């Protein structure tokens, strides 16, 4: 079977383990949204938000569920879970330029570094002493891998990343551009109004199948290590302070700020721009909605929020005056009753 577009629809049905209804010989060149699709495109239907796009789509075929199949008369691939089917299809249509299978001559590799087979290193990559890269690791241009770092097989590190000394990264990780892993935690002891730096002796230990988004920072631990579990997915510009411990298969969306020694359970979803204060513990299967501040531990699964919701600025100005009087208002109301 071919492994790059175009595919005929029968091939796609086989690759995606989906039921084909329609013309098996039709050629599919690309994967697109229902709305933007044209002839030769495969699309998918999953989110009721886009239901109105389904009937009018010009896609040559659509991935959808058995229950939705009757709503669409064109060529279709029927799947138990159309969104997962789409996720699988997406990789068949990925045309990322293949990096040349080579180590750039401008890469700087310390003689004591230990490189596996089939390594790709971009221009100006720096691999310091005793660093160890497993088989099939890719490191893009201008990234710095410091001393004693270990990176597991098939991991991919994008451009302009810094992995500081001694950090350990598992297999199949994807570290995006601009990430900093293993810089010092923010630890000081105060004496007479001056701050004395505490050397950060721990490291960062990252499991398998982890994604870390662009310009995210993960600090090394003060004494123990900062720990990111298997399967954790972290978005862009997230800040993870020293000694944080994140459980397996937890998702952390963009711009969240997680303070020191926070412990987050498994299968949590921390939405975007959330703040979590230091030493908080969060149970498994907790969702925190966007831009909430977690200022206490969360002991039960469920969804948690803070904030006021949006108003016009004019209304808001009146309401925040009242917020500052809220305790007085409540006390008076209690007296009335």
Q: Which of residues 290-329 bind a second copy (CB under 8 A)?
A: 290-296, 298, 302-327, 329
Per the document, the length of the chain is 337
CB 174, CB 155: distance < 8 Å: yes
Task: List CB contacts of 1: < 8 A, sequence separation 6 or more.
Answer: 11, 14, 15
Residue 165 known to be catalytic: no
Interaction between residue 102 and a second copy (CB under 8 A): no
Which one, 14 or 84, has the nearer CB to a second copy?
84
Given 148, 171, 205, 265, the residue binding a second copy (CB under 8 A) = 148
Q: What are 103's two structure tokens?
A: 């180590």
Which one, 70 or 192, has the nearer CB to a second copy?
192
Within 192-211, which residues bind a second copy (CB under 8 A)? Answer: 193-201, 211
Given 13, 219, 265, 270, the residue binding a second copy (CB under 8 A) = 219
Within 60-99, which residues bind a second copy (CB under 8 A)? Answer: 81, 83-84, 86-88, 90-91, 93-97
Interaction between residue 146 and a second copy (CB under 8 A): yes
Interaction between residue 233 and a second copy (CB under 8 A): yes
Within 165-184, which residues bind a second copy (CB under 8 A)? Answer: 165, 174, 176-178, 180, 183-184
Tokens 């060149």 — which residue? 29
Interaction between residue 237 and a second copy (CB under 8 A): yes
The window from 11-19, 21-29, 55-63, 251-259 that contacts a second copy (CB under 8 A) reads 251-259
Which one, 66 or 91, has the nearer CB to a second copy?
91
Write the Ramachandran bin of 56: left for phi over 0, alpha for psi from -120 to 50, otherwise beta: alpha
Q: How far is CA 189 from CA 130, 186, 200, in A?
A: 33, 10, 13
Number of residues counted as binding a second copy (CB under 8 A): 136
CB 76, CB 62: distance < 8 Å: yes
Which one, 56 or 117, has the nearer CB to a second copy?
56
Interaction between residue 50 and a second copy (CB under 8 A): no
Interaction between residue 337 and a second copy (CB under 8 A): yes
| Secondary structure class of 76 (helix, strand, coil) | strand
Spot the catalytic one: 46, 91, 110, 242. 242
For helices 326-336 and 313-323, the axis angle rounded to 10 degrees is: 60
Q: Which of 182, 176, 198, 200 is nearest to 131 (CA)?
A: 182
Angle value at C-alpha 35, between 29 and 38, nearest 5 degrees = 35
**Could you list the active site residues?**
242
């Amino acid at each position: 079977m071919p492994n790059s577009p175009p595919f005929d629809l029968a091939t796609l049905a086989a690759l995606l383990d989906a039921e084909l209804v329609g013309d098996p010989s039709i050629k599919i060149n690309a994967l697109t949204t229902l709305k933007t699709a044209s002839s030769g495109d495969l699309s998918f239907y999953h989110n009721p938000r886009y239901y109105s796009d389904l009937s009018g789509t010009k896609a040559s075929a659509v991935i959808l569920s058995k229950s939705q199949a009757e709503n669409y008369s064109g060529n279709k691939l029927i799947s138990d879970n159309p969104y997962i089917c789409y996720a699988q299809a997406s990789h068949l249509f990925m045309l990322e330029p293949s990096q040349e299978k080579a180590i750039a001559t401008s890469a700087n590799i310390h003689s004591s570094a230990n490189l596996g087979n089939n390594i790709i290193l971009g221009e100006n990559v720096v691999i310091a002493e005793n660093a160890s890269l497993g088989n099939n690791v890719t490191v893009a241009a201008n990234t710095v891998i410091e001393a004693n770092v270990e990176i597991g097989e098939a991991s991919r590190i994008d451009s302009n990343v810094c992995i500081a000394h001694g950090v350990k990264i598992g297999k199949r990780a994807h570290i995006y551009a601009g990430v900093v892993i293993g810089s010092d935690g923010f630890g000081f002891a105060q004496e007479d109004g001056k701050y004395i730096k505490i050397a950060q002796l721990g490291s960062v230990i990252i499991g398998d199948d982890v994604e870390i988004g662009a310009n995210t920072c993960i600090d090394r631990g003060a004494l123990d290590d900062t720990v990111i579990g298997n399967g954790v997915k972290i978005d862009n510009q997230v800040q993870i302070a020293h000694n944080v411990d994140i459980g397996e298969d937890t998702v952390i969306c963009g711009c969240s700020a997680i303070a020191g020694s926070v412990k987050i359970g498994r299968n949590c979803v921390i939405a975007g721009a959330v703040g979590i204060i230091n030493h908080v513990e969060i149970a498994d299967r907790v969702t925190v909605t966007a831009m909430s501040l977690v200022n206490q531990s969360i002991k039960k699964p469920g969804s948690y929020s803070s904030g006021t919701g949006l108003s016009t600025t004019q209304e808001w100005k009146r309401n925040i005056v009242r917020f500052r009087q809220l305790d007085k208002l409540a006390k008076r109301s209690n007296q009335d009753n």
